[in-house]
Structure 1
Amino acid sequence: MKRTVLLISGLVFCIASYANNAKEKKGLNEQINAAFHYLVQGDTSRASKLLAEQERLKDDNHQLSKLAIMLQIELKNNDTAERLLLSFESRFADNPDTFAFAADAWRDLGHQAGVFSKFGFYKKGVQAKLRAGEVGPDNAEYVALRAGASAHGSSYGADASLQKTLTDKAIALDKKWGYIAKLNYAQNTDDQQSGLAAAKEAVEEFHDDFVVLERVAQYFWTIDNLAQAQQTFAQACEYPPVQSWYREVKWINACYQVAVFSQEHGLAVKPGEQALNRLLATYKLPTTQNVEIAGLLLDIAQQENSQLAIQRMNQAITHTNDKALVKLATRRLAMLD
């Protein structure tokens, strides 16, 4: 009887311990998501605070490590971000998502880097895509990444001869990522006929999938079909992805690009208004990024369609100590008079 009681007590303890750990993990994930929500708006405060509080855990936690990398990129601390990325790839080398994330992070660093450093970062980004497909050889998303990256050839450490085989494999594994692979292949081989056919089929079949719509829009943009690109970016903007790091960044960029097409290429204004209003309804912090979004909306829209922009400008004036931002918002509102 005593042994039975001990076994039951041990089981209860294990269950309670598991429940507490699950609760703590959920709580931490919620904090990470909240910090990232601030970070994509250009506010680094929550990410900095959370990472300081979780100093002991951050090297062992995949999501905290991502947050640390994106924080340094936002702060434009390229050397620190590079060091963290290399360590991240090494510590989580058996997870293909590590390299899918790293590919986007390396690309971001390349965009920020000086002219002599750009190629090195872009090359690391291509190699991360290749590695994602190698670590996840039966996952269509990562196979499609590897297939597209293979087109870069030997100067990037890739083997272009594998592109077609890997593209066919992604198509066989999954319809959605098969379309992504088809579009990548059509773009890389300048096969516009196949690309347009794949784009049409993909939009018809995945009309509410951000990932597919954003890739199709990028394809139209690449072949200079700007009207179709704007229309498809606008459609993608209607379907924000579940928070997934760079996927959310791409959603912001997709929505913003709709309005850029309105402003710079004289395309339809209404989709641009709708896209920017959607961003301003989602992101409400008084940051430079949000003031710039509001400014673009004021540039393209009638005042009755830009009330959120005026609201964000006034929030920046009254709720921040950033004198440059207050000056920017004040000057932009004065232009309405």
Structure 2
Amino acid sequence: MNKILLKNIALFSSLFLTFNLIAKERKLDMLVFQAKKALIQGESQLAKKLISNEKKPSYNLLKLKILYYLERDNIDKAERSLNEFELQYFNVADTYAFTSEVWRSIGHKVSIFSKSYYYKKAVKAKITAGNKAPNDPKYLTMKASALGQSSQYGGNSSLQEQLAQKIKALDKKWGLIAEVNLAQNEDNLEQASKLAIQATKLFPQDFDVLNRTAKLFWTRSNYPSAQHYFYQACTSKSGDQWHSKINWINACSQTAIFAIEKNVNKDKGKKAIINLLREYQLPTNINFEYIKMYFKLSHTVSDPIIYKVLQNIVEKNSDVRLIKEAKGLLNKMSLNQPR
């Protein structure tokens, strides 16, 4: 009887520890998610706290660490962390899908003399992602896109078409995107546009399709069509990965930028900014820039989301200049209110 009791106690203790561990991991994952969301908005305190306190970082926490250094423009530490991340998780396709986007982002930040080095790293990572998942159409599309880049960055366009055909056989959506990439790489923009439109008809609410189509029309300087598809992408759900969120934000903000700079549909521009601010409302300079874009598109501003973010900036931000500007816009809003 005592042996059975001891076994049950041991079993319950083991289960208790397991559930505790799972709960702890879930809590950490939620905090990492919140920290990434804050980083995107220019707020780094939670990320700093998490990466400072964790002695054995998880996969997602290592990603957060890299993004923290990227947001802080600490290129040396970001690069070291990226190399360590690729070494530690060398057999995971998502590792390279993630690092390819970060390498590319670093390339955008550094001087013109260093850009080529980081763009090569990005191309190599995309190709590796496809190699690690040879039957996954998403990662293969990344690889095909990278192969289509100039040979000076590590591309090999002669292999792109064959891979595009393989992707097409695996998956309709990614096959069409791969064909759009191939046609554009071959400067066959008419064919690329035809394929992109076909994809939007088959997948009218798919973010990847809409975003790719928008970028194609942007390349062709067809700003009304580009704005239309960016707006559709902005109103669609993107993936949960960091670079997917960045692409979604860019789709929303670019909708407004076209409205401001190219004098196309202002209503879509305003709606896109509101859609963006529904998701991201921290009192940061980045979000304030979106609000300023909205004011450029509207003479009378009364949206409660705009008011809420401006009020949060006044109450919670410590930047004197930013607070002053936010107060100025709040005053404009109050003048527009009916008396």
The TM-score bracket by the shorter chain reads over 0.9
Question: Partner residue of 1:136?
Answer: 133
For residues 158-198 of structure 1, what are the alpha-carbon distances to aligned partners after superposition, in whole Å with 9 as ceiling and x for unaligned? 32221011111111111221122112111111112321221
Aligned residue identity for 1:236 = A
Which of these residues, 165, 168, 172, is aligned with residue 171 of structure 1? 168
Match runs of 1:91-102 below 5 Å: 91-102=88-99
- Aligned partners of 1:153, 1:259: CA distance in 2, in Å? 32
CA distance in 1 between counterparts of 2:302 and 2:118 reads 41
- State whether structure 2 residue 159 is matched by structure 1 residue 187: no
Which residue does 1:237 correspond to in 2?
A: 234
| Deviation larger for 257-266 or 158-167 | 158-167
Evaluate the alpha carbon distance shift between residue 180 and residue 11 of structure 1 in structure 2; reply closer, same or farther with a 3 A threshold: farther
SS in 1 for 2:41: coil
TM-superposed CA distance for 1:19, in Å, is 2.3
SS in 2 for 1:303: coil
Following TM superposition, by how much is the alpha carbon of 1:7 offset from its aligned partner in structure 2, in angstroms?
5.7
Post-superposition shift, 1:304?
A: 3.9
CA distance in 1: counterparts of 2:175 and 2:5, whole angstroms: 56
CA distance in 1, matches of 2:139, 2:240: 19
> Is the 8 Å Cα contact of residues 130 and 143 (structure 2) preserved in structure 1?
yes
Residue in 2 that maps onto 1:28? 28
CA apart distance, 1:242 = 4.3
After TM superposition, the structure 1 stretch with the greater mean CA deviation from structure 2, 96-105 or 10-19, is 10-19
**SS state of the match for residue 190, structure 1?**
coil
Match of 2:253 among 247, 252, 256: 256
| In the alignment, structure 1 residue 152 sits paired with structure 2 residue 149 | yes
Deviates more, 1:168-177 or 1:304-313: 304-313
1:15 pairs with 2:15: yes
Aligned pairs, how many? Answer: 334
Distance 1:322 1:259 in 2: 26
How far does residue 15 in structure 1 lie from its aligned partner after superposition?
Answer: 3.5
- How far 1:307 moved relative to its partner? 4.8
Pairwise CA distance, 1:90: 1.1
Provide the rounded CA distance (Å) in 1 between the counterparts of 2:206 and 2:15: 39
Q: Which amino acid aligns with 1:84?
A: S
**CA deviation after TM superposition for structure 1 residue 27, in Å:** 1.0
Corresponding position: 1:303 with 2:300: yes
Cα RMSD for the two superposed structures: 2.0
| Residue 82 (structure 1) shift | 1.0
Aligned to 2:218: 221
Q: TM-score, normalised by structure 2?
A: 0.92
Contact kept? 2:295, 2:301, Cα under 8 Å: no
Cα 1:177/1:2, change in 2 over 3 Å: farther
Letter in 2 for 1:37: K
1:216-239 CA deviation, whole Å, 9 max, x = no partner?
111111122211110011011112
Counterpart in 2 of 1:49? Answer: 49
Contact in 2 for aligned 1:41/1:290 (Cα 8 Å): yes
For 1:67 and 1:8, locate their aligned partners in 2 and report how far apart those are by CA, in whole Å.
40
Q: Distance in 2 between matches of 1:99 and 1:19?
A: 32
The offset of 1:142, in angstroms, is 0.8
Would you say the 8 A contact 1:152–1:158 is kept in 2? yes
Equivalents in 2 of 1:242, 1:143: separation in Å? Answer: 17
User: Would you say 1:325 and 2:322 are equivalent positions?
Assistant: yes
Q: 1:158 to 1:4 in 2, by over 3 A?
A: farther
Question: Residue 120 of structure 2 is aligned with which of 108, 118, 123?
Answer: 123
Give the Cα separation in 2 of the matches to 1:171 and 1:74: 37
Deviations 1:192-216 (A, max 9, x none): 2321221112111211121221111
1:262, 1:268 within 8 Å by CA — same for their partners in 2? yes
Structure 1 residue 297 displacement after superposition = 0.2
**Post-superposition shift, 1:330?**
3.9
Of stretches 327-336 and 241-250 in structure 1, the one that deviates more from structure 2 is: 327-336
Percent identity over the alignment is 34
**Aligned pair in 2 of structure 1 residues 138, 322: CA closer, same or farther (>3 Å)?**
same
For the 8 Å contact 1:33–1:243, the answer to whether it is kept is: no
Match of 2:64 among 56, 63, 67: 67
CA deviation string 1:132-181 (max 9, x = no partner): 11111111111111111101243222322210111111111112211221
Length-normalised TM-score, structure 1: 0.93
